[in-house]
Structure 1
Amino acid sequence: MKRRYNPYTLPPWVRQMREISIQIIIPLTIFQGIRTVFFPTSFDVLLLGLLILLAIALRLEWL
C-alpha cells in the first residue's frame, strides 16, 4: 500500500527550505524568462522550462 504524502511529517528544516524555495522560484523564473527573450540559447530555454515545472510542482505541492 502506498503512503500518502503529508508535508507536516517532514523535519522542520525541510519545511522551511521548501517555503523559501516557493518564495524564490517565481522571481527567478520571471528573470530567466526575460533573459531568454533577449538572449535565447538552448540552455536558457531548457532552464526556463525546468524552472516553470519546478514552480508549478512547488505551488501545487507535488514536491
Structure 2
Amino acid sequence: MRRRFTTHSLQPWLKQVRLVAVQVVLPITIFHGIRTIFFPTTFDVLLLGILILIACAVHLDWF
C-alpha cells in the first residue's frame, strides 16, 4: 500500500525550502510580469506562465 503524502511527513530541510519558496515566488512573479510588459519575448512569456502556476500552487497548497 502507498502512504499518503502530507506536509507533516516532510523532512525539516524540505519544509524550510517550501517556506522560502512561499516568500520569494510572489515578488519574483510581479517583477517578471512588469519586465515582460516592457520586453516581451517568447521565453519571458513562458517563464511568467510557469511562475504564475507556481504562485497559484503555493497559494492553494498544491505544493
TM-score scaled by structure 2? 0.91
More moved, 2-11 vs 23-32: 2-11
Paired position in structure 2 for 1:10: 10
CA deviations 1:4-46 (Å, max 9, x no partner) are: 3310110011001000001000000000000000000010000
| 1:10-49 matches, cutoff 5 A | 10-49=10-49
Pairwise CA distance, 1:2: 5.5
> How far 1:60 sits from its partner (Å)?
1.1
**4+ residue stretches of structure 1 with deviation over 2 A?**
1-5
Aligned length: 63
Q: Structure 2, unaligned stretches of length 5 or more? A: none
Aligned sequence identity (%): 56
Return the TM-score normalized by structure 1.
Answer: 0.91
**1 CA distance for matches of 2:47 and 2:3?**
32
- Compare 2-11 and 45-54 and name the one that shifted more: 2-11
Correspondence for 2:61: 61
